[in-house]
Structure formats: structure tokens, C-alpha cells
Structure 1
Amino acid sequence: MGSTQFGNFQNFCRDSTLPICNILIPRGEANQPPGQAYLGINACVLQGIGLGGNRNLANLGAILVDGLAILTTLFLLWRSERKRAAVGRREMQLFLLGFFIISICDIFTVGGFPLNDNVRRGFTAAHLAAIAATFWILMCNGLVGYQLIDDGTPLSILLVLGSAAAVFVGTGYVALDTGFNFTGYFADESYGPRHRNIALYVLYQLLPLICMFIFFILEAILVLRVLQEKRPMIWLFGAGLLFGIGQVFQYVISIHICRPLDGKIDGNFFQALFNLLSVVMIWIFWSSITEDDWPVA
């Protein structure tokens, strides 16, 4: 990939429904669904269902999945609260809360609600910040099982929540500056003809992948070397596989779903569904290695 392609979202926004596209398009055009036709004649714009007054609810499928994700997350938070002796219970709940916030923001950023331009940009900044911070919390959960610091203690919670808050604020600031052009630095970089934003590319695309990779490595070592078990790896591998399938639908297959169906649905619906299933698998994995019958290393 050439240096001019690094940080470039133009093809992503043309072929997929991504929240970041809301703040990378010219002001005044963000009240339409992401995946804008202005990005090229090959773009497929979600049409959804009409609400009257030339307004559409573009991404009804994703909205329904996000609603299911919100209910599922609340259930998992309740189940986690009941596992009072489980290692990393509070830290896992922080991860679930992050996913809860992502699901709410997703409704308003890629759901295609006919929102005010500035409102959508504000939700988008919170969405991108929540994604970066939640993946950071997931990585921290990978460290909790090693008991470097007693889990659930004020110090442990402060380290996880404090570092995640720093990631949230940093990513949110870059996204807000990109969308509203407070300083002119990030917006000038974004509104170029190639729709590049290196800072958000790192924070929104690369950081979550790095955090997830570290989480999987840490947990695999914990299960195979410390607990000396193989069964929980089924859930861990399942979580990674489901997340990967969701990304394939979002970045590769989306445009091929959208065109034949005349914009009724695209890969974002499937990506939201597989992300939800991946989070459920992560919770099942965590639950399986915190049962009372595991040996203490």
C-alpha cells in the first residue's frame, strides 16, 4: 500500500456503511446515509424505508440488531453481577458497558436517522471514541487474569477506566476537530480529495485490531499454559472468527449485497450481528475460565 493510501477512507466510505464517513464528507451532506454517492458512481446508497417528507430510515436492519445488542448487553451485565467470585468481573462489566455505548451510538450514526448534520457528527465522535476505548478495555481484560493487580480493586478499576478514558477523550477530540473544524488541523487533512485522516485511521482502524490481537494472545497463553486447558479455546476462537466474518461483510461483501438489493440492506447489518455474537462468545469464554472448578495456578 502506497504512502498516499495510508489513512485513506474514500474506498471504505464508497463500499461500506461506516460511522467515520459522517465526519469525512463535506459539511451539509452528512444528513444522508453513509456510503455517499458523492464518493463515486459505484457507491451504493442505502435507501431503507420512507418516513415521508423525502426522509428515509436507511438502515433499519442494523437498528434492530443494535436494539437486540442493547438488550443482550443488559442481560450479560446482570449475569456478570451474579458471578460475584469470578475473576475480572468488574473489568468485564466495563467492557460490556463500552459495547452498550457503541450499540446506542451505532443507531444514530449508521442507522440513517434524518438527524441534524451537527447532531450526527457529535454522535459519530462519541461512537469512534467508544470503539477505541472499548477495545482498549478488552485488552486490559486480557491482563486481568494474570493477577498482576488484584482484580476488582479500586486500583485495578482506576487503571482500566482511567486509561480507557484517556483513549476515549483523545479519539473523541480528534473526531470532533475533524467534524467541526475547531482548529483546522484535522479537518484540513480530512476534506482533501482522498479523504485521508491518518490520526483517525490509527485510532479507529489500527488500535482496535492491535488491542484485540493482544487480548487473544494473552488469553490463549493463560488458558493453554497457566490453566492447561483446551476447551475454553473453542469460545475464544469462535469470538475471533465471528468478528472476522463481520469485518468481511463490512469491508468486502457489503457493496455486493447493497447493489442487487437496490440499497435495501448492506453488509453493515451482518457486521453488527456478528459483532454482537462475538461479544457474547467473549463473555462465554470469560465465564468458562472463571468457574469455581478451575485449578488455581
Structure 2
Amino acid sequence: MSTYLDFKFGSFNNTCSKVSLTLCPLVGSTDGIEPLCYSRNVKLADTLIFQPSTLIIHIIALVMTAIMIYHIRSKYTAVGRKEIVMFFYLYMLVTVMDLLLISGIIPTASNLYPYFTGVHIGLISATFWCLLLNGFVGFQFAEDGTPLSLWSIRISSFVIFSAITFLSIATFESLGPFSATNPVTLWVVFFVFNGACLLIYVILQILLVVNTLDDRWPLGDIVFGVAFFSVGQVVLYVFSINICNFAKHYIDGLFFGTIATLLSVMMVYKYWDSITKEDLEFSVGSKQNVWEVKELMGDDEMAGGGYGQQQQHLGPPGSGFGYNGNSPAPGTYGQANFYDGAH
């Protein structure tokens, strides 16, 4: 097993000797690659559940992603709403597949395991690709929300998903020129392609904030997102064995890597939310005036009287006039004069 610790381009030996990725049982050798240290399993209803702590984080990730999707869909007129929500749907699918495979709900001995793992890897690449394309939405090369913008992301993401899924399954089954013992192409896709998509997205968003927005605070969301993801990858691929030994096999790097990935995805949402603003005038042209009236009435009430102060200018009940019996001066009460005051 010590040979697996040596890094080699195009080989998962070094990676899989440290952390139990879903593809590790399918590459490297006939029996796959087993990590030197991994989290304990628990028995639940006569079923062994692997990575129980990571399974809990996956469930939390699903709940948090559902909440983020709800808030995104609630911002009806925000720029790129329909585009960015596709990224979170894909992340949710990746989490579900990860949950099924990492926990052993779909056992590695099953004949279906290579196919589910291929779908999982295809979804990961499609998620990174979708995030990359969302990086172009803010530049308005195609107007957001239009069929061109939406279907270009949907179709291209599906093509990436299909191609990477086929590549993964062909590698696991050693079909044609692909080999499970020498998975160079899959390694390049898993690390280089996905990493390049993320890097380009980050660069695009920095350019967008610096050149387009007056506010620089969204840069903080980008920095935190990159920091969370980077720390998670370092913990996952470098310190997993150390964490596993220190924690006496209760947790390993996969636990912290999953948490860091969730936090980075949450920062993607936070960043998008900070650079988008919902337009309150999308349905009724005079809606802005209505909001201004409510704000002015609220200010009058807080200033000392509100509705009670208006009553002082009214005459006897039913007269419709002031104390002197004259018509009230314009603006004493009535919604129309609030509009005038607002302008």
C-alpha cells in the first residue's frame, strides 16, 4: 500500500490511499484502492452504514440547498435567477448520489455500483460546467431568462454530463482504449477540467465586480467561497489520514471536506444574492408610488401622531370639514397629496 502514497500524473493511487472517493473501488487494480485510514461504519437495521458522520452532513446539505433554492425562486425579477438555480439543483443531485454511494446504501459489490458512480462523476462535472456558464450571465452576452440563455446552459450541461458519465463507465469497465488500471483521461477530467471551470468562474466574477459594480463587498463573498473550497480540498487530499488517526477512525477528511464544500456553495448563493436586486415595479407601473406612500405615512406616524394627528383637522363627525366649517386645505389628508409630496 505504501506505493499508493507516491503521486503520479493520471493516477488515483495517491488520492485513494488517503480518502475514500466513490471511484476508488473501481480504479487502480482489480480490487480497487482502499484508503489507509477511513471512518468507522455503524450497523443500522441489519445494514452497515459507512461514513455515518459524513452522511449527516449530506442530509444537512440537502436541507440547506432546498432553502437556498426557495429563496432564489422567490426573487422573481433578479438577474440570472433561472440560470443560477440550475447549479443548485445539480449540486443537490450530486449530494444525493454521494450520499447513496459513500454510505454504502449502494454497496461496492453491486453490479450497479460502477454505473451509479459514473453518473455521480458526470453530475460533478456538469455542476462545475453549469457554474462556469453562470459566470457569463452577468456580462449579458445573452439576456438572462431568455430561451437562448437557459437552453444553452441546459443542453451543454447535459452534453457534459453524458460525455463524462460514458467516459467514467468505460474506464471502470475497461472498454476500448480506456483502462481502470490507467485512468489518465478520467483523472484529467476529475481534477483538471473541474478545477479549470471553477477557476474561470472566479476570475469572471472578480472582473464583473471590479468593472461593473460600485460595491466591492461581493469580493468578500468570493474570497470566502474560494477559501472554504481550498481548505476543504487540502484537508481532504492531504490531511485525511492524520485526521482519521487522531479521531480514532470516527471521522476522516471526507467529513470536513463535505462541510467545506457546502460552505463554499452557500457562499456562491450569498455572492449571487449580494449582486442582484429585485425590482418592485415588475408587475404594476405605479407600485413605486404605493411604496412611497406607505413609507411617508410610516414616517408621519413615528413623528408624532399619524392617524390621530389627522383627526385634529377634521370637523364634527359626518361634516367632512374642518373646525371652522371650511374645506380642508389640500394635503391635509388624502392619498393623492402624498404622491405630490413624494415627488
TM-score calculated relative to the size of structure 2: 0.75
Which whole-Å CA distance do the structure 2 matches of 1:111 and 1:244 have between them? 24
4+ runs deviating over 4 angstroms: none
Does the 8 A contact of 1:108 with 1:120 survive in 2? no
Aligned to 1:50: 43
Matches within 5 A, 1:15-164: 15-24=18-27, 26=29, 29=31, 36=34, 43-51=36-44, 56-113=48-105, 115=107, 116-164=109-157
**In the alignment, residue 149 of structure 2 is paired with which amino acid?**
S
The structure number with the bigger radius of gyration is 2
CA distance in 2, matches of 1:253, 1:149: 43
Deviation for aligned residue 1:120: 2.2
Residue 292 of structure 1, CA deviation: 4.4
Q: Which of 251, 257, 267 is residue 265 of structure 1 equivalent to?
A: 251
Q: CA deviation at 1:239?
A: 0.6
1:45–1:184 CA distance, 2 compared to 1 (3 A):
farther
List alignment gaps of at least 5 residues for structure 2: 1-6, 280-343
Aligned residue among 197, 202, 205 for 1:211: 197
Structure 1 unmatched runs, 5+: 38-42
With over 3 angstroms needed to count, the CA separation of the structure-2 counterparts of 1:262 and 1:218, relative to structure 1, is: same
Could you say which residue in structure 2 is the equivalent of 1:40?
none
Query: Tell me, what secondary structure is at the counterpart of 1:15?
Result: coil
Query: In 2, distance between residues paired with 1:243 and 1:126?
Result: 23
How big is the shift at 1:59? 0.4
> Partners of 1:224 and 1:197 in 2: how far apart?
40
CA-CA distance at 1:114 after TM superposition: 5.9
2:221 to 235, 260, 263: 235
Q: Sort the Cα spacing of 1:92 and 1:52 in 2 relative to 1 into closer, same or farther, 3 A.
A: closer
CA deviation vs aligned residue, 1:143-168 (integer Å, no higher than 9, x gap) = 00000101111111111111111110
Q: Answer whether contact 2:55 2:103 (CA < 8 A) is retained.
A: yes
Match of 2:241 in 1: 255
State the SS of the aligned residue for 1:259. Answer: helix
What is the CA-CA distance between 1:172 and the residue it aligns to? 0.1
Corresponding residue for residue 11 of structure 1: 14
Equivalent pair of 2:100/2:106 in contact (CA under 8 Å): no
**What are the residue-to-residue correspondences of 1:190-201 with 2, within 5 Å?**
190-191=180-181, 196-201=182-187
State the distance in 2 between where 1:117 and 1:69 align: 26
Q: Which amino acid aligns with 2:34?
A: Q
Structure 1 equivalent of residue 285 of structure 2: none
Residue identity matched to 1:280: M
The CA deviation at 1:52 is 7.8
Answer whether contact 1:22 1:109 (CA < 8 A) is retained.
no
**2:235–2:253 Cα contact (<8 Å) kept:** yes
Q: Distance in 2 between matches of 1:67 and 1:240?
A: 23
Cα RMSD (Å): 1.9
Q: Secondary structure at the match of 1:118?
A: coil
Letter in 2 for 1:9: F
- Report how far residue 290 of structure 1 moved: 0.5
Q: Is the 8 A contact 1:88 1:152 kept in 2?
A: yes
CA displacement at 1:178 relative to structure 2? 1.8
Cα deviation digits, residues 175-219 of structure 1 (max 9, x gap): 1112234x2431xx322xxxx311111211111110111111111
Q: For 1:123-155, what per-residue CA distance to the aligned partner results, in whole angstroms no more than 9, with x for missing partners?
A: 211111011010000010100000010111111
Question: Which fold has the larger relative contact order, with Cα–Cα distance below 8 Å and residues 6 or more apart in sequence?
Answer: 1
| Counterpart for residue 290 of structure 1 | 276
Deviation at 1:259, TM superposition (A): 2.1
Q: Secondary structure at the match of 2:251?
A: coil
Give the Cα–Cα distance (whole angstroms) in 2 for the partners of residues 114 and 140 of structure 1: 32
Task: Write the deviation string for residues 32-69 of structure 1: whole angstroms up to 9, x where unpaired.
Answer: xxx616xxxxx11433213487x631201111111111
* Whole-angstrom CA distance in 2 between matches of 1:25 and 1:265: 25
Q: CA deviation at 1:80?
A: 0.7
Quick one: which amino acid aligns to residue 21 of structure 1?
A: C
